[in-house]
Amino acid sequence: MLYFSPWKVALTIGACVFGILLAIPNLVSKETAAEFPPFLPSKQVTLGLDLQGGAHLLLQVDMEAVIKERLQQELDSVRTALRDARVLYTSLSVEGNAVTVKIRQDADVDKAMQAIREIEGGSAITILGTSSGPDFSIERRDGNVIALVLTEAAIEARRNAVLDQSIEIVRRRVDELGTREPTIQRQGEDRILLEVPGVQDAEGLKKILGTTAKLTFHLVDTTATAQDAAEGRISPSSMVLPADPETHGPNDPQQYVVRRTALVTGDMLTDAQPQFRNGQWAVSFSFNNAGARRFADITQENVGRPFAIVLDNKVVSAPVIRSPILGGSGEITGGFSTEEANQLAILLRAGALPAPLDIVQERTVGPGLGQDSIEAGIKASIVGMIAVVLYMWLAYGAFGLVANFALLINCVMILGGLSLFGSTLTLPGIAGIVLTIGMAVDANVLIYERIREELRNGKTPLSAIEGGYRHAMSTIVDANITTFIAAFIMFWFGSGPVRGFAVTLSIGIATSVFTAVVLTRMLIGTWVRRRRPKTLYL
Amino acid sequence: MKFRLKLIPAGTRIGFVRVRFFAFVISGCMALASLGLFLVHGLNYGIDFSGGTLLEIGTDGPADIGKMRSELNSLGLGDVSIQEFGSPNDVLIRIERQDNATDEQDRQVVAMVREALTKNVDPNIEFRRAEFVGPQVSDELKRQGFMAVSFAILAVLIYIWFRFEWQFGVGAVSALVHDVIMTIGFFSATGLEFNLPVIAAILTIVGYSLNDTVVVYDRIRENLRRYKRMPMRELLDVSINETLSRTVVTALTTLLALIALAVLGGPVIRDFSLAMLFGVIVGTYSSIFIASPILLLFKVRNGKEAVEAGKESKSGAGA
């Protein structure tokens, strides 16, 4: 039992040396670590945002708006389809996840069903693209009512597509800001986790993420007067949009009547840049080929008429087309400040979000606080360690010193483990290390107390030590598995800092069993076999 | 060095089981009081669970909290609490969640506070930390925290059941529920902030207390095999006494580390450390006075042994 084959000794020492090597890069600066020869590990512990400072934002995609938009779209197509088929209907509306329409005459119901089926056949391919079946299932209900129900599969597919697209847009926008190493992750069904180290002020980030930046160009409906708009007497193919208060003064129009169909959309842009011209800031943009061609055609056909530049359903400006714009580029003006023009250009370059984003959680930590936390954590670790080491020495003498040596190796190995797994060290994680220092000696306490018992029962030193380790083993395993269960559940349910704590605790459990059981047994066993003490003072 | 610090002398024979009814009554009353406090007084939820905004700021000299309060109250953000945090140069500002505000306004709170403070109080304020938790997230975190603690206890029940007998599982879980209720009562009574790291602390307490309980249970199981005829009551006492030294030493080393953390670890994790400190004490108590004596209520040995053991104890046999 207390004999160790050479390969076992080599393995144990090897594991310790490996742990120490893994921990070493943390003692030097990042630059020095990067210059380590390739056979040495150079990875450092990643500090959590609470320690190095930075911004953590949890964004929620407004899926309800996505579904609502899809239903509204369907409602528009149904209206067009029924009009084209010359079917009269009474009420056409969105109810829950369905569009319902009531056909006026019984005789028309079949014709209406036919017309609706046709639009449904088309939408599955053109609008969604990814879904395998149609987005809507068509039901015929009592009282000449036809319902188009948005299927669960379609909602699910849409959710995923929207979330993936949102992540992409968020990534592009954050990259545009020139921040270093942002982390962007999908979280759950409708959330995006964004972590940007080093950012002290999340306001700028929040501003560029809080805007959808959906840019569209519409012809202005010149047949409708302001009074028509106010009274709602406008053609079904037109809509009323408010003027953007930031670009419109009190004497400018407060709302516009524009054609529903967008002529050109922001996804056809290839570039956007802030420009300073004639004493004011503007954003110039250029279209891709398809966009340029459409823009050219439309401006050619509508010279002399106004068109509206619409950003997030607000009219930024409505200039009159003076001459056909054939070059595929244009400019948005509207009394922007430098910052606003710059921001709008970033947003246009990065593209529109498919749905609005809500910021549901924010954590920003300044670098000063992070540094203070690290210092406090290190101080607490050192003082805690000294107290435990002193106590173990007083209580178990030389055996205590062996346990203390194991504890020291344990701390180094935790650091090495954190570096190896690339896990993030958070403030609660430091607390986890301090706690592990206190609890790691438990295994040694169990063993030593057991050895004392064996000695009291009259065993020889050698067999007492052997028995102590053997008997304590099952208890040590049970005790550590239970702590591990708690850590695992913390990791499963927890987020951010709590996860960091769980990871540190788990690594601490694994390394402490190794150092407190395997390492100390080897040290004490070797000593006992060499010296063959007649009595053991423990 | 021949001196050995032994807090617990060898061969103690303390009658822990004898006082079990006393311990049960005390623990029962404390648990009821904790639950009562929790229901009546509630917990001082941190923004993780209550939602809202939190800012930590640093000033060059002692902060003028009065001026900050009047400035922030004029913003009309509802309940604003301002307090010193760790040192006079460090201030913690908490703003309740804006229930009637739009998302847009909610998002602006941090910006508004920043502007008001730099403009009207002190332009050199250092913004050390800003946190905002929306209502969707805070409700979710509350639910997750509750689930995590419940699942941990359930997982433990299953593990102990597999490793021991079901009676041990019930005993260990009673002790854990006791510890969790007490910790919640402690937070309700002291008004310390109950936040996400505290849930981590409670889970760690669950792990620690269980660790302690398992050590005693392991010894009970071993002694059940060794002393086939010892009455259960005596066997429990012997097992607790045999492991007492280890229980106390480990509690002490853990407490030493935790005290260092509570005193030196900085204000951000002080509540977490205090929760752990309390939990380690309660967990140690419960594994001695609750988890083990509760085994007497169930028949851990089969009936025959218990009867024989009963006969034997009358004739005064022991270990």
Fold of A63-156: Gyrase A; domain 2 (3.30.1360)
B124-148 as b/e, with b when 16 or more CB fall inside 10 Å?
ebbbbbbbbbbeebbebbbebbeeb
pLDDT at B314 over 80: no
Cβ neighbours of residue A522 closer than 8 Å, sequence gap 6 or more: A4, A8, A9, A12
pLDDT at residue A3, rounded to an integer: 76
The whole-angstrom separation of Cα A54 and Cα A33 is: 23
- Decide: B6 and A397 in contact? Cβ < 8 Å: no
Instruction: Kindly state the percentage of chain A with pLDDT values over 90.
Output: 14
Range of weakest confidence among A134-138, A356-360, A478-482: A134-138
Other CB atoms within a 10 A radius of the CB of residue A107 amount to 9
Q: How do residues B295-307 score in pLDDT, each as one tens digit? A: 988 877 644 444 4
Question: Which tokens in the block code for residue B227?
Answer: 């002393």
CB contact under 8 A, A497 and B197: yes
pLDDT at residue A157, rounded to an integer: 85
Q: Which residue do the tokens 């020139």 mark? A: A178
Position A327, amino acid: G
- Decide: B11 and B249 in contact? Cβ < 8 Å: no
A458-482 as b/e, with b when 16 or more CB fall inside 10 Å?
ebebbebbbbbbebbbebbbbbbbb
Closest CA to A252 of A213, A223, A226, A287: A226
- Better pLDDT: B241 or A206: B241
Position A400, amino acid: G
Position A456, amino acid: R
The whole-angstrom separation of Cα A55 and Cα B66 is: 29
Q: How far is A461 from chain B (nearest CA, A)?
A: 17
Q: How far is B172 from chain A (nearest CA, A)?
A: 11
Q: Which of A376, A441, A481 has its CB closest to that of B265?
A: A376
Q: Which of B137, B199, B252 has its CB closest to that of A391?
A: B252
Average pLDDT, chain A: 85
CB contact under 8 A, B208 and A384: no
pLDDT at A20 over 60: yes
Q: Where are the domains of chain A?
A: 6-53+367-531, 63-156, 210-363
The DSSP-derived string for B83-111 is EEESEEEEEEEEE---TTS-HHHHHHHHH
A18 burial type by CB count under 10 A (0-12 exposed, 13-18 middle, 19+ buried):
middle
The whole-angstrom separation of Cα A196 and Cα A204 is: 12
Other CB atoms within a 10 A radius of the CB of residue A494 amount to 25
pLDDT at residue A121, rounded to an integer: 60
Average pLDDT, chain B: 85
pLDDT at residue A125, rounded to an integer: 41
pLDDT at A301 over 70: yes
CATH architecture, range A210-363: 2-Layer Sandwich (3.30)
Phi, psi of B90 (to 5 degrees): -125, 125
- Decide: B216 and B284 in contact? Cβ < 8 Å: no
Query: For B251-277, what is the mean pLDDT?
Result: 90
pLDDT bucket at A155, cuts 50 / 70 / 90 = confident
Question: Which tokens in the block code for residue A62?
Answer: 């407004």
Range of weakest confidence among A381-390, B35-44, B201-210: B201-210
pLDDT at A1 over 60: no
CB contact under 8 A, B266 and A376: yes
pLDDT at A127 over 50: no
B99 burial type by CB count under 10 A (0-12 exposed, 13-18 middle, 19+ buried):
exposed
Asked if the domains A6-53+367-531 and A63-156 are classified in one and the same CATH topology, the answer is: no
pLDDT at residue B123, rounded to an integer: 83
Crossing angle between the packed helical segments A63-84 and A152-176, to the nearest 10 degrees: 120
- Decide: A48 and A427 in contact? Cβ < 8 Å: yes
Question: Which tokens in the block code for residue A318?
Answer: 């409505």
Phi, psi of A38 (to 5 degrees): -60, -25
Task: Please compute, for residue A444, the number of CA atoms within 13 A of its CA located in the half-sphere on the CB side.
Answer: 36
Phi, psi of A219 (to 5 degrees): -75, 145
Cβ neighbours of residue A18 closer than 8 Å, sequence gap 6 or more: A416
SS3 assignment for A487-538: HHHHHHHCCCHHHHHHHHHHHHHHHHHHHHHHHHHHHHHHHHHHHCCCCCCC
CB contact under 8 A, B148 and A494: yes
Closest CA to A138 of A120, A161, A158: A120
Q: Which residues of chain A have a CB within 8 Å of the CB of B144?
A: 493-495
Question: Which tokens in the block code for residue A260?
Answer: 């529903």
The whole-angstrom separation of Cα A346 and Cα A349 is: 5
Q: How far is B6 from chain A (nearest CA, A)?
A: 6
pLDDT at residue B236, rounded to an integer: 93
pLDDT at residue B26, rounded to an integer: 94
**Full set of structural domains in chain B with CATH:** 17-45+138-311 (1.20.1640.10), 52-133 (3.30.70.3400)
For the beta sheet containing A329-336, the strands, ordered from the edge strand earlier in sequence to the opposite edge, are A269-277, A280-287, A329-336
pLDDT at B25 over 90: yes
Question: Which chain A residue's Cα is nearest to B109?
Answer: A203
Range of weakest confidence among A40-54, A467-481, B101-115: B101-115
The whole-angstrom separation of Cα A295 and Cα A287 is: 8
Supply the ipTM of this predicted assembly: 0.84
Q: Taking a contact as any Cβ pair under 8 Å apart, which residues of chain A between 434 and 493 contact chain B?
A: 434-435, 437-439, 441-442, 445-446, 449, 452-453, 456, 471, 474-475, 478-487, 489-490, 492-493
Beta bridge partners of B56: B92, B129
pLDDT bucket at B309, cuts 50 / 70 / 90 = very low
Q: Which residues of chain B have a CB within 8 Å of the CB of A439?
A: 208, 211, 250, 253-254, 257
What's the farthest any 2 CA atoms get from each other in chain B?
86
Query: For A506-513, what is the mean pLDDT?
Result: 90
The pTM assigned to this predicted structure is 0.79
A29 burial type by CB count under 10 A (0-12 exposed, 13-18 middle, 19+ buried):
exposed
pLDDT at B316 over 50: no
Query: For A449-454, what is the mean pLDDT?
Result: 91
Phi/psi region, residue A331 (left: phi>0; alpha: psi -120 to 50; beta: rest), is beta
Closest CA to B275 of B159, B210, B189: B189
Question: Which tokens in the block code for residue B72?
Answer: 């922030």
Phi, psi of A186 (to 5 degrees): -80, 140
- Decide: A114 and A101 in contact? Cβ < 8 Å: no
Q: Taking a contact as any Cβ pair under 8 Å apart, which residues of chain A between 501 and 530 contact chain B?
A: 501-502, 505
Task: Determine contact: A373 vs chain B, CB below 8 A.
Answer: yes
Q: Three-state SS for A425?
A: strand
Closest CA to B292 of B7, B10, B23: B23
CA-to-CA separations, B293 to B54, B166, B299, in angstroms, rounded: 46, 15, 12
Q: In whole angstroms, what separates CA A263 from the centre of its chain?
A: 34
Q: Three-state SS for B276?
A: helix
Question: Which chain B residue's Cα is nearest to A434?
Answer: B257
Which is it for strands A329-336 and A357-365: parallel, antiparallel or unpaired? unpaired
Give counts: helices (H), strands (E), chain B. Answer: 10, 6
Q: Which residues of chain A have a CB within 8 Å of the CB of B103?
A: 358-359
pLDDT at residue B207, rounded to an integer: 85
Q: Which of A368, A379, A495 has its CB closest to that of B58?
A: A368
pLDDT bucket at A120, cuts 50 / 70 / 90 = low
CATH number of A6-53+367-531: 1.20.1640.10
Q: How do residues B68-127 score in pLDDT, each as one tens digit? A: 888 888 887 778 888 888 888 888 998 887 766 555 566 678 888 888 888 888 888 888
Ranked by mean pLDDT, the top range of A181-190, A273-282, A382-391, B128-137 is A382-391
CB contact under 8 A, A490 and B130: no
A304 burial type by CB count under 10 A (0-12 exposed, 13-18 middle, 19+ buried):
exposed
Q: Three-state SS for A268?
A: helix
